[in-house]
Amino acid sequence: MLKEGTKAPVFSLPDQNGDIHTLEEYRGKKVILYFYPKDNTAGCTKQACGFAERYPQFVEKGAVILGVSKDSVKSHKNFETKYELPFTLLSDPELSVIQAYDVWKEKKNYGKVSMGVVRTTYLIDEDGIIVKAMDKVKAADNPQQMLEVLE
């Protein structure tokens, strides 16, 4: 996980509509950049829907929400449509941004070891500096925690 106080790595990734997003275009805004393992899984759906429910409050506080996983643009589009997600989902199948943000880790599931995305959320300030870094976040609690961090 990247340390608070460090410059956030720049990125350029397609969203659920195939449009490219860069960190630079969000300069001057707070960015909640959250990394999650997989579209349409229980935890990831809880987390995404939690951000969606609170979306107006995040907008009020001047924050942009960007979700990142290694799922395809098409998978993200289906996920967005199914749950009416009002924010941007970025597709990183090559793991370039996932690795730059140090969230690709060894995971253990029922004794089986594999590599995967560790659920991690970063708050990046208006100048591109990481001001909050949370790893191994609980999917259901994370959206509310991030709202509180913005207070």
In this prediction the pTM is 0.96
The catalytically annotated residue of 8, 32, 44, 65 is 44
Active-site residue flag, 49: no
At residue 107, does pLDDT exceed 90? no
pLDDT the model gives residue 15: 98
On the question of pLDDT at 129 being above 90, the answer is: yes
Q: Tokens 């979700």 label which residue? A: 67
What confidence tens digit (pLDDT) does each residue in 64-98 have? 999 999 999 999 999 999 999 999 999 999 999 99
Average pLDDT over residues 23-46: 97
The pLDDT > 70 percentage for the chain reads 100
Q: What are the φ/ψ torsions at residue 136 (nearest 5 degrees)?
A: 50, 40
pLDDT of 33 above 90: yes
pLDDT tens-digit profile of 2-20? 999 999 999 999 999 999 9
Per the CB < 8 A criterion, the answer to whether 137 and 145 are in contact is yes
- Sign of the Cα pseudo-torsion (34, 39, 44, 50, in order): positive
d(CA 111, CA 146): 31
Print burial letters for 61-86: b (CB count within 10 Å at least 16), e (below 16): eebbbbbbbbbebebbbebbeeeebe
pLDDT over 90 (residue 151): no
